[in-house]
Structure 1
Amino acid sequence: MWRSGLLKPLKNAASCNLFFQIQRGLHSRNKKAKEYIGKGWSAIQEVDRVIPYTEPDDELLIPLLKSAKQNFELALEVDNLNTQARLWLARLHLKYCVPGACKAVGAGLLVEAADMGNADAQYELFCQLRTGESSITKDRQAVYYLDKAINQLQPDALFVLGAMHLGGDCVKKDLELAAWCFQKATQKGHVGAAIAYGALIFKGKKTPDKIGPLAGSGKVTSEASSKIRNRLSKRTSISSIDDAINQFEVAANAGNDLAFIWLNRLHEQEENEAMD
């Protein structure tokens, strides 16, 4: 009995030590993966800076592309569950002239990242499916991933849904829901959404003030919007011209020409009203 009572706390201590060792190991792998991703991303940034002034397959870009590919692959070796490394590696295979690139490998990596919950991968997969050969099955899959991205408030996905409601494309035309989508995308830095949101504010539209969580359906016409509509609890008027100007200024600061046109138009209107 005495020995049994002594061994019990020793076993508990050994279990705790093992737990902390595992946690330290996970933290170390995550940190190392982030370092590799950072190096790969820096190489891609340099490629994107140079590529407008040269050919996509220019030999000067090859060392940078190889470096990016190698670092993203190393990140996955260190942490195979890292969806960001998987997404960037997919982009390299699909969008860049990197040596050894393979469209099938890129598509597989993109699907994996999307299924693992990466919102950016879900949106990109939606785009890939919608721009590919059209079919009902692909349309269903595309909308499924769009809804998944919307659930996570991915800005590009929100902008697409807002545009759909703005024009009544595959969903019911609803300017208030469009404004909500543009508003949320604007909060995440989407320049196009800022212009669209500012235009709707200028027209005095309303946006839902609160909603519940969204849920995707996988149907050809997205039901994410209907989930928003069913969970509305309050609507607030947003017809202030100052709010519209603020949105256009956000886009203008990002260098968007259309935002400058809107700002000039609003300032001219204010001057005309002051003269009257």
Structure 2
Amino acid sequence: MLPRALLAKFVLKPSTVVSPFQFNQQRALHSRNKKALEFIAKGWNALKEVDRVIDYSDPKHSGIVSLLRTAKENFELALEADNTNTHARYWLSRLHMKYPVPGANKAVGAALLVEAAEMGDPEAQYALGCHLRVENDYVQSDQQAFYYLEKAVDQLHPGALYLLGAVYLTGDCVKKDIASALWCFHRASEKGHAGAAIAYGSLLLKGVEVPESVIKFSLTRGAAAHRRGRNKGALAIDPVEMAREKFQIAAKAGCELGFKWLARLEEEEKRALTEEH
């Protein structure tokens, strides 16, 4: 065995000196990232304006075509500035696959979407999972869709959480698992997803039992949960109050169902008070 003193000579020690070359590399990387983000912001703003007017205009209108070209050019420039940027890939893929941009190519869009998903972009993973579930009929599409949805769920993408919750709730291509569905709906609602909040709240009012793991998580968020009487280690929830919290999340997001459920709860409470008296 080598003596400790001799072995230590071969072990690299962390250097406290930053070489000019390393500093220049970091500065160049930061500069590329910043430039790419600027291009993405310009492209996204142009696309947002298209979304605002396209339903009420001719898609071939010169103003819309000009905006789409601006978006495409900026997303392409973002990739030229930083080829590792997953957001630029995702938005460029979306442009090719969804919008009537001149030179649009769905094959190119699909390739970009797969690349962005494989590189870890949660929006791309969610979008790819949805495309595989809806637009493909071959045998393994459901399994592949589930794979990408789980990847997005790992990054707590609200849309993916909601969709995976629906899959667990219905038992579509996976074993039916109400507890997992509730967990997905709860986490998605915490991210502001209106559909997940409605689903979670309505399941509570139907009497579905909430798993203890979700109740513990709710306690850290200040949800309507409390300790059971004698057994201080056990947890319980007030289903009506927790449902109300979820419907409030949906209402805050502008969901009409959220307002309707809140009004219904209020009516039920007034009726109960009237009957008591």
In the other structure, the counterpart of 1:120 is 123
Using a 3 Å threshold, how does the CA distance of structure 1 residues 235 and 83 change in structure 2: closer, same or farther? farther
2:69 aligned with 1:66, yes or no? Answer: yes
Aligned residues: 242
Alpha-carbon distance in structure 2 between the residues aligned to 1:34 and 1:194 = 32
Give, in angstroms, the shift of residue 53 of structure 1. Answer: 1.2
2:245 aligned with 1:246, yes or no? Answer: yes
TM-score (norm: length of structure 2): 0.81
Using a 3 Å threshold, how does the CA distance of structure 1 residues 71 and 174 change in structure 2: closer, same or farther? same
Alpha carbons 2:204, 2:243 under 8 Å: kept: yes
Percent sequence identity over aligned pairs: 54
> What SS does the corresponding residue of 2:19 show, helix, strand or coil?
helix
Alpha carbons 1:47, 1:64 under 8 Å: kept: yes
Deviates more, 1:84-93 or 1:56-65: 56-65
Alpha-carbon distance in structure 2 between the residues aligned to 1:71 and 1:249 = 38
Give, in angstroms, the shift of residue 188 of structure 1. Answer: 1.6
In the other structure, the counterpart of 2:220 is none
Structure 2: state its 5+ residue gaps: 1-14, 215-232
In the other structure, the counterpart of 1:224 is none
Paired AA for residue 244 in structure 1 = A
Deviates more, 1:135-144 or 1:178-187: 135-144
CA RMSD of aligned residues (A): 2.1
1:85-96 correspondence runs (5 A): 85-96=88-99
2:155 aligned with 1:143, yes or no? Answer: no
Structure 1: state its 5+ residue gaps: 1-11, 211-233
Alpha carbons 1:202, 1:244 under 8 Å: kept: yes
Which whole-Å deviations, capped at 9, do the CAs of 1:93-117 have from their partners, x for residues lacking one?
0000111100000000000000101
Give, in angstroms, the shift of residue 14 of structure 1. Answer: 9.5
Give, in angstroms, the shift of residue 15 of structure 1. Answer: 6.7
Alpha-carbon distance in structure 2 between the residues aligned to 1:114 and 1:144 = 11
Give, in angstroms, the shift of residue 31 of structure 1. Answer: 0.7
Paired AA for residue 213 in structure 2 = D
2:199 aligned with 1:206, yes or no? Answer: no
Paired AA for residue 27 in structure 1 = H
TM-score (norm: length of structure 1): 0.82
Moved over 4 A (4+): 12-15
In the other structure, the counterpart of 1:160 is 163
